[in-house]
Amino acid sequence: MKHQHKWMIQVLVALILCLAMAAPSCAAEKYKLALSLAITGPTSDAGAPYSKGVEDYIRYVNDTKMFKDAVVECPIRDDQYQTDITKRNFEEFLSDGIVLYLNYSTGSTLALKKDFEEEKIPVIPASFHAGNLEDSHYIFLPIATYSSQCIGLAEYIAANNKGGTPQVAMFIHPSAFGRGPVDDLKKAIAAGLKMDMVEVVEHGKDLDNTAMLQRLLSKKVRYVICQTVQSPVATLLKDAQRLGVIAKTFGEDGKLTFVGAHYTGGNDLIELAGSAAEGFYWTTSYTLTSEPGPGTDFQLMLAKKYSRDDKTANSHNYTNGMMVAQLAVETIRRVKAKNLKVTRENLYNELNAMNGANSYSPGNTVGPVTYSPTDHAGVDTLQIYSVQKGVFKAVGKPFVPKFAK
């Protein structure tokens, strides 16, 4: 018993030490933002570079003294994709007095929507789910919703299809995130977008999609719109490749052309699917490092400055995180430029006024960020990319989907 007693005291001492270590210190004027996201757990392959994008840009702001005496503070918390932890993090951030909150998953954004309303705090999530905006005033999506991305893809298909009405299937994630755009796309079709939606497939953890692909082909499906994450798309593409059913040219007869929204693409898809990714069409509002420009130069510089590896530096989720941080910092800057106090309300008004001449171009998106009290989707412009020789190359010019509201 004596032995165990000693052990207990040691544990107690260790716990007290842990407590003592966790005490932070503070000084100078601070603008407090905060981010809660999945760095581990599901979707961490997107969350990890996203968090680094936010972290690096905030550090850049502070290192280059963008706000002279003041600093921007943005603690980043891992919530392992669990809504409960997100809520806890959010409550803590609120007690810290944050003025703007960056959220991540579709699930937690929907779950906390009421809290955002009650707290009147502007929120920028990484989820572009259109449902986020229903009954909500304080959620600002950084770029076009998944729905308008899918509609954009559908419009591209309708415009480039040869011969008859295009037959389309959707391949979606079994969650709100995946299902969201289905109804909106159906509405767009009802409103006059020329195509037939033949089937909607929800995927699981598949090892073999042969049967599904053959079924789609037998139903004369020509295009598959994917709204999910990279891994299932990679498996699908590999199966399609070995069956030899991937279209060589866009919309080739008797073959399948695969297209996908923001989280299906990027370098991760090429990593996972290898040569099967060739000819995959993808849409997002971000610029990519495979299409160099001033925005991407800045991104690479930032990644280099904070010694990120190549994979992170070139990830579109790194861009995504960076852009969200840029947007937040820019809003703070504008509020300050008007000599107003940086508060939730002023930030909210400033975000709502971000349109017309006041729209903001962060440089790494294909169009400007525009918000208004009735439009809370940021960059409305989309760019289609396709994989050519192992990298995503831009196809055509950036455009705004017509059927998206």
Least gap, CB of 294 to another protein (angstroms):
26
Least gap, CB of 242 to another protein (angstroms):
4
Least gap, CB of 216 to another protein (angstroms):
10
- The 258-297 site mask, x for binding another protein (CB under 8 A), equals ----------x--xxxxx----------------------
By CB under 8 A, is residue 179 in contact with another protein? yes
Number of residues that bind another protein (CB under 8 A): 83
Nearest to 199 by CA among 265, 214, 362: 214
How far is residue 99's CA from residue 343's CA, in Å, rounded to a whole number?
A: 6
By CB under 8 A, is residue 44 in contact with another protein? yes
Per DSSP, the residues of 328-365 read HHHHHHHHHHTT----HHHHHHHHHT--GGG-B--SSB
By CB under 8 A, is residue 10 in contact with another protein? no
- Which span (141-149, 153-161, 170-178, 325-333) binds another protein, by CB under 8 A? 170-178
Nearer to another protein, 243 or 400 (CB): 243
For the beta carbon of residue 370, count every other beta carbon within 10 angstroms: 17
By CB under 8 A, is residue 32 in contact with another protein? no
Nearest to 398 by CA among 390, 386, 385: 385
From candidates 163, 204, 254, 356, binder to another protein by CB under 8 A: 204
- The 62-91 site mask, x for binding another protein (CB under 8 A), equals -------------x-xx-xxxxx--xx--x
Least gap, CB of 152 to another protein (angstroms):
24
The b/e string for 65-77 (b: 16+ C-beta within 10 A; e otherwise) is: eebeebbbbbbbb
Least gap, CB of 239 to another protein (angstroms):
8
Nearer to another protein, 47 or 367 (CB): 47
From candidates 73, 196, 202, 291, binder to another protein by CB under 8 A: 202
Task: Report residue 92 as tokens.
Answer: 């803590």
The CA-CA-CA angle for residues 362, 282, 170, to 5°, reads: 130
The amino acid occupying position 139 is I
How far is residue 334's CA from residue 99's CA, in Å, rounded to a whole number?
A: 14
